[in-house]
Amino acid sequence: MSQANFPLERIDDAANSAHSAGYFIDAIGRLFFDLAGEDPDAVERILNGYTLGGIAAGLRIVGSDLMSRSDELKALLAKSDGRGMSK
């Protein structure tokens, strides 16, 4: 796809959105882990440890992946703008 068909501003917006979504999802995953560590009995009444651990692990993986993809998009933008590292 040519640059004219996909403006750099859209890539930047996509990178920012991916990072924000990743941060949000990762934070929810960490919250589940923290809640389970602070009051496991209260959490166990709602979700068993297996379910809670699986949800938290999945959220953290997805969140980390989104933030990583955002960093890659930002690096691509910086390189195309001449702000990145030289070849």
- List the domain boundaries for the chain: 8-79
The pLDDT tens digits for 23-53 are: 888 888 888 778 777 877 777 777 777 887 8
Q: What is the DSSP letter of 48?
A: -
**Which residue from 43, 27, 25, 45 is spatially nearest to 35, judged by alpha carbons?**
43
**Which residue from 24, 13, 20, 12 is spatially nearest to 74, judged by alpha carbons?**
12
* Whole-number Cα distances in Å, 55 to 50, 52, 85: 9, 5, 38
| pTM of the predicted protein model | 0.60
Q: pLDDT value at position 85?
A: 45
